[in-house]
Amino acid sequence: MSFIEWNVNLYTGLPDVDQQHNKLVALVNRLTEVSEHDQDVLDQAFHELKDYVIEHFTLEERLMDEAKIDPMHIDYHKNAHALFVAKVAGLWETRDNDDGQTLNAMLEFLKSWILQHILQTDRKMASEVHEKMGTEAPHNMFQHF
């Protein structure tokens, strides 16, 4: 069983976003499989994840700007992204290499934040984007999967 299990409720119905969320989950899962003693591999896996997170947030933020959804949502959502990036960078920098607990705490934070963010904020964004674009809402997408 993976650290983060993908499930149908995580779909937003926005194909690019869903594809990137899948990859994001895969990168977090991969990070959990690296031994805490293998610092080089761990470092590489973390930085790959961090770069991908930034790339993914950029896509979502562009999508929101282009769709011109509620500016209050856009502000809130961009702020949530920025806080997450700062928090994860802090957890990574202050981790104790000799103690797996700080790494595990970071992984648990990643997992809970990502799942909660997708289920609440990203799906809210998706329903607003679908409404603006006249495309299919997520609940209608599920039947295709």
Give me the residues that bind Fe ion (CB under 5 A), please.
Answer: 60, 122
State in angstroms the smallest separation of the CB of 57 from Fe ion. 6
Residue 60 identity: E
Indicate the residue among 44 and 79 with the shorter CB distance to Fe ion: 79
Cα separations in angstroms, 141 against 40, 116, 120: 41, 20, 17
State in angstroms the smallest separation of the CB of 116 from Fe ion. 11
Contact yes or no for 73/64 (Cβ under 8 A): yes
CA torsion, points 17, 18, 22, 24, in degrees to nearest 10?
20
State in angstroms the smallest separation of the CB of 64 from Fe ion. 9
Indicate the residue among 82 and 89 with the shorter CB distance to Fe ion: 82
Indicate the residue among 84 and 92 with the shorter CB distance to Fe ion: 84
Which pair of structure tokens corresponds to residue 6? 């993908």
Residue 96 identity: D
State in angstroms the smallest separation of the CB of 73 from Fe ion. 11
Indicate the residue among 29 and 121 with the shorter CB distance to Fe ion: 121
